[in-house]
Structure 1
Amino acid sequence: MFSSQHFVGRRQIAIGPCHLRPKSYFPTFSPSYGAMMWSLSKVVQTPEVMRVYLGSFWVEKPPNSFDDMRELLEVEHRDLLKDLKGLPKNAAIKKINEVVKRARLAKVHALIVGHLKKEMTMFLKDKKQGQLIAELDLEFLKIQKRYHLPPGDFPDVEKFREILKLYKIDEFNSLDEDLIKQADEALANDLPKLMATFPQDNPVIDVSQRNPFNSRNPSFVKVPTNAELRRSYGFAVVDKLTYEPAFKKLTPFLGKVAGAVVRPLLVNTGLSNDVLAEIWRLSDQDSDGYLDIDEFCSVMHLAEAAQSGGQLPETLERMVLPINI
């Protein structure tokens, strides 16, 4: 079931849930997704393809459900969180792009008005104005070649011609070269400097280096003991505040720390390299080679459990993430 609501004034869209029966298969899900995208194209008047995220509302997954789409849903989950974290930066970049667009448009309009004003004669003004309007496309070409402007920056010739008929070109102001220079300076230097102040993303780590312990055996590794993971080490009792000071000491960038920074802290636990590699594999949920605060808590929590003789689980359930008590 799909539902959507479009607010024309705000250009917002609210997308309702996609509800599928517990036993659903990708061949059924894919056509449903395509049908929803087709429906949205009729509602949202935009040339860009909208990003729609897929997910499940099951708190406890029924048996044998969504196994054929588990990887897809996990990728969509990570993409959604990543895009949400990037909203402030993306919104600022969008505003800067709009400023650049409006500045270029204003510059071209100023050049057009100044050029037409300069072409006017002292006598027979109405005749000259009619000639300029009739040959407006040629005047645009002259301006384009003189100032080395891209054709895409110019307005629609026919619309501009109709608007010019409502004004007297000889009453336009002359071109102010200083203002044009200031606009060029802003576009070439000021706005790029402003963009450079925005937070940059962490560099992408090569896949082969995302696990700082570089375990050669990616299979399940067990701590050499017969003891099970004690109940006191269940994730329901993890206190995030316990590990937060250590996380802040590592000076995270954009809320994350690299594996090379965390490695010395884990090496000091005295655990073997294979065990630490498995702990990292379990905790690095998005496999990007970085740890956020929740993933860092998972790493430290599992390391303490392994030190106490616990057995590492094969996987970490998504619901048992560290909590802040």
Structure 2
Amino acid sequence: VHAYIMSYLKKEMPSVFRKETKKKQLIARLGEIFRNIQLEHHISPGDFPECEKMQEQLRVHDFTKFPALKPKMMEELDHMLTFDVAKLMPLVRQEEMEMPEQMVHGGAFDGSSNGPFIEGIIDGLFEAGEDDEWVVTKDKPKYDEIFYNLSPTDGKINGVKAKNWMITTKLPNSVLGKIWKLSDVDKDGMLDDEEFALASHLIEVKLDGHGLPSELPGYLVPPSKRRQVGSAD
């Protein structure tokens, strides 16, 4: 995001005269510039810095000395985030599974991996069986309508289509990345209708002000994936 902002400011600066005047105009229009960059590059508003704080910081910088944007590098970065990172998710999950469990030492919670927080215990109590109702089921019809409007191929949408839809929620990319990781249950870098419904459900959970689980609890695992997840565990 900062690369796009600095590149825009540099491009708008005059080469010789009235540099200081133009700089003040650009700083005053920074909110508008943010919105233009957001629309042009499909970036979530939550990923932009605080406007007033950045306006203050920009006053001491020479915009003409900002580095120029390298489109090829940005394309490669976007491809990496959309496709390559998705391919790494199975390795990350395997590494997390192999890490030794961190225990709390001392005090009332000695020997507990959860400390005073019992989220993990609650998740275990409500672990779903193969025939148990999925909590996302009641809202799945409305999620399906969105999913099929995105024109899935062979019953799935790729990372690009998913990203373009997810950023419309205006959640930060860091949050959307976590939702993607939780929702891509089979770690194939795509979402089927159940995984998309799960992602939509988690987005609504976050928009309602609730936190996200670090691992997908059993009652959120899509029905068609429960045996697969169970065998992996």
Q: TM-score range by the shorter chain?
A: 0.3 to 0.5
Structure with higher Rg: it is 1
What is the TM-score normalised by the length of structure 1? Answer: 0.29
What is the TM-score normalised by the length of structure 2? Answer: 0.40
